[in-house]
Amino acid sequence: MQGGTGETTLRPPARIDIDPEGLVGRSEAQLELALGKAHRREPIASGVNWIYDRTDCRASFLLLPEVSSGERRVFGYEITSRGGEAPSAPACLGRIAGDAQSRRS
């Protein structure tokens, strides 16, 4: 599989870190485009909580209605690590996005 055999090596897709602050204020469609479909959606306050679960981290995004348009947008987030080699928040989001991309392709 390596060296001069001429065979190509299969590598996992390149992952880019995603800054969670950049997602604040995004609409449901934009969040889904960035991170894929949420694994779970739970109602909270006047909005809904989108939850993405991985074995090494978990990301939650709270979407609340915007007064002027009525559209739900990201109000805040929480990212928690799991296990010993827990990724940073941007890395966690990058991995979630990578997972979504893999599912799509």
**Residues 74 and 31: beta-carbon distance below 8 Å:** yes
For another protein, what does the binding mask look like between residues 21 and 60, x meaning CB under 8 A?
----x------------------xxx--x----------x
**Residues 48 and 72: beta-carbon distance below 8 Å:** yes
DSSP 22-37: GGTT-BHHHHHHHH-S
Among residues 15 and 64, whose Cβ is nearest to another protein?
64
- By CB under 8 A, name the binding residues for another protein: 25, 44-46, 49, 60, 62, 64-68, 70, 73, 75-78
